[in-house]
Amino acid sequence: MRLDMLTVGLFQSNCYILSCERTNEAIVVDPGGEGERILEAINRQKLRVKAIVNTHGHIDHVSGLSVLAPALSVPVLMHKDDLPIYNNLSTQAAMFSVPAPTGVKIDQFIEAGDKIEFGDIACEVIHTPGHSPGGISILFRGESPQIILSGDTLFMGSIGRTDLFGGDYDAIMKSLRNVYLQLPDETVVYPGHGDKTTIGFEKRYNPFLSQLL
C-alpha cells in the first residue's frame, strides 16, 4: 500500500490518499481543504479513487468535499452519529470566524466492523467516539507493521479536543483504553493533525495514555 499525506487548509489537517500499488485503486481520507491540490495529487499518480472517507464531521476535515466529491463522482462515507455536526457547518464556521464550506451529500453511513476495500487492500472501520460522537479510526491489519488512521482521537503526545461540537472526555478516554491500548506497540498512528507516531511511543510519552496503563 502507498500512503500519501497532504497537510491542507486553514487548520492544517492531514488528508490521506491511500492506494493499492498494483491496481492504482485508492481512497481519500479527510479532505479538509484545498480540494484542487488533492485532486492534482490523485491525477498525477493516475489513481482510481473508490471512496472518500471522513473520520468525523468537523469543518477542518470536510472542507474539501465540495471540490473533491463532484470531481471524482464517488461515494462519501461517514459515521451516522456525526451527521448532525456535519449538517451544521455554518455554525462551526462562525465559531472559528471562517467562511462556511459547501456541504455535499453523505452517500453511505459506515459503522464499527465495516470493511473498506480498494484493489488488494482492505481496512476496518473502528468507532472511536470522544472527539465527536461518530468519530472513527481506520485500521489496516494487513500492513506490517499495522497502520491506523486516528482522525482526531490520538495525536503525538496528546489527544483530540473534547470541548468542541459533540466532544466527550470520558468517551475519548474509553476509546483510547479499549482500542488504542489494545494495539501492538509497533502500530504506526497517522493522526488528523501533526506527525505520525507509534502506539509504543504514546504509551511512554503521552500523558493521556500513560494514565490508563
CA 81 to chain centroid: 15
| Distance from C-alpha of 110 to C-alpha of 108, rounded to nearest angstrom | 6
DSSP label of 168: -
- The predicted pLDDT at position 164 comes to 85
Q: How confident is the model at residue 137 (pLDDT cuts 50, 70, 90)?
A: very high
Which of 149, 174, 157, 120 lies closest to 1 in space, CA to CA? 120
| Distance from C-alpha of 12 to C-alpha of 96, rounded to nearest angstrom | 14
| Distance from C-alpha of 175 to C-alpha of 170, rounded to nearest angstrom | 9
Per residue in 10-48, pLDDT tens?
Answer: 999 999 999 999 999 999 999 999 999 999 999 999 999
Asked if residue 6 lies in contact with residue 17, where contact means CB atoms within 8 angstroms, the answer is: yes
Cα dihedral value 110, 105, 56, 98, nearest 10: 180
User: Is the entire prediction scored with pTM above 0.95?
Assistant: yes
| Domains, the chain, with CATH or none | 2-210 (3.60.15.10)
State the cell numbers at 39.
Answer: 485532486
CA angle, residues 95, 97, 99, in degrees to nearest 5: 110
High-pLDDT (> 90) share of the chain, %: 94
| Distance from C-alpha of 158 to C-alpha of 178, rounded to nearest angstrom | 17
Compute how many other C-beta atoms are within 10 angstroms of the C-beta atom of residue 193: 18
- Look at the alpha carbons of 147, 153, 112, 103 in this order and tell me if their dihedral is positive or negative: negative
| Distance from C-alpha of 186 to C-alpha of 164, rounded to nearest angstrom | 31
Q: How confident is the model at residue 165 (pLDDT cuts 50, 70, 90)?
A: confident
What rounded mean pLDDT belongs to the chain? Answer: 97
